[in-house]
């Protein structure tokens, strides 16, 4: 059974073992979503979750244990943990902002400030 973990960013301070991060297309992410039997989302921004859900073709709200905005943690082995499960892979859907825009720390970015979306695949080895 393939279980997919997806979010809008991954806390770098939680990386405590080797991880490979590769840029992927949004189409590749959608393909993975289609074959996944279950999806766990730790999407952290309420203002972009609807558009991200539309891009992904799946609801990114309230996944995991049904707790909104549950945090990702790591296991004692350094693997991502979410919703009571651990993962060896995580997908990130990340925005590319319009030219010259840089959000302030903690700022909720308006959708019109996003030029396009990119996907990253993180694999823990």
Give me the pLDDT at residue 118, please. Answer: 92
Give me the pLDDT at residue 50, please. Answer: 84
Q: 15 or 109: whose pLDDT is higher?
A: 15
- Alpha-carbon Rg for the chain in angstroms: 14
Q: Where are the domains of the chain?
A: 3-124
> What predicted TM-score, i.e. pTM, was given to this entire model?
0.84
| Nearest alpha-carbon partner for 3 in 84, 94, 119, 117 | 84
The CB density around residue 125, as the number of other CB atoms within 10 Å, is: 7
Q: What's the pLDDT band for 90 if we cut at 50, 70, 90?
A: very high
Q: What's the pLDDT band for 114 if we cut at 50, 70, 90?
A: confident
Domain 3-124 fold is: Rossmann fold (3.40.50)
Give me the pLDDT at residue 67, please. Answer: 47
Q: Of 1-10, 38-47, 58-67, 106-115, where does the model show the most confidence?
A: 1-10
């Amino acid at each position: 059974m393939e279980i997919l973990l997806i979010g809008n960013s991954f806390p770098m301070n939680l990386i405590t073992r080797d991880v490979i991060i590769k840029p992927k297309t949004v189409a590749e992410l959608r393909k993975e979503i289609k074959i996944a039997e279950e999806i766990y989302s730790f999407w952290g921004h309420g203002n972009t979750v609807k558009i991200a859900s539309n891009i992904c073709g799946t609801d990114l709200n309230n996944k995991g244990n049904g707790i909104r905005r549950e945090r990702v943690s790591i296991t004692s082995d350094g693997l991502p943990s979410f919703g009571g499960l651990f993962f060896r892979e995580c997908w990130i859907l990340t925005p590319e902002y319009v030219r010259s825009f840089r959000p302030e720390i903690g700022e909720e970015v308006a959708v019109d400030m996003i030029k396009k979306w990119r996907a990253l695949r993180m694999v823990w080895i």
